[in-house]
Amino acid sequence: MQTRKRSSDHLGENIDNKRIRNGKNNFPRRPRPPKKDDDDDILFIRFNIPLPPPQPPLEEIEDLPLVVPSLKDYCKNPLCDHKGFDENPNEPNIMSITEIKSINDIINLGLSYNCQKNLLYHGMNLRIFANLIGPLTELSAMVGMNGVKEQMINQILFFVQNGSMDKRCGKCVDCKFNLPCINTNKDMLHTVISGPPGVGKTELGKILGKVYKEMGILSKGTFKLASRSDLIAGYLGQTAIKTQKVIN
Q: What is the pLDDT of residues 154-203, one digit of tens each?
A: 888 888 887 766 677 777 888 877 788 877 766 667 788 888 888 888 89
Does residue 72 sit in helix, strand or coil? helix
* pLDDT of 39 higher than 60: no
Give which of 228, 229, 230, 235 is closest to 248, Cα–Cα: 230
Mean pLDDT of 12-25: 52
Q: What is the CA angle 10-13-15, rounded to 5?
A: 115
Please tell me the predicted confidence (pLDDT) of residue 82: 78
Q: Full-prediction pTM beyond 0.75?
A: no
Burial class (CB in 10 A: 0-12, 13-18, 19+), 142: middle
Q: Would you give the DSSP letter of residue 156?
A: H
Q: Are 124 and 163 in contact (CB under 8 A)?
A: yes
Alpha carbon 244 to its chain's center: 16
Mean pLDDT of 206-224: 84
Q: Are 208 and 164 in contact (CB under 8 A)?
A: no
Is residue 132 very low, low, confident or very high in pLDDT (cuts 50, 70, 90)?
Answer: very high
Strand partners of residue 114: 118
**Backbone dihedral region for residue 180 (phi beyond 0: left; psi -120 to 50: alpha; all else: beta):** beta
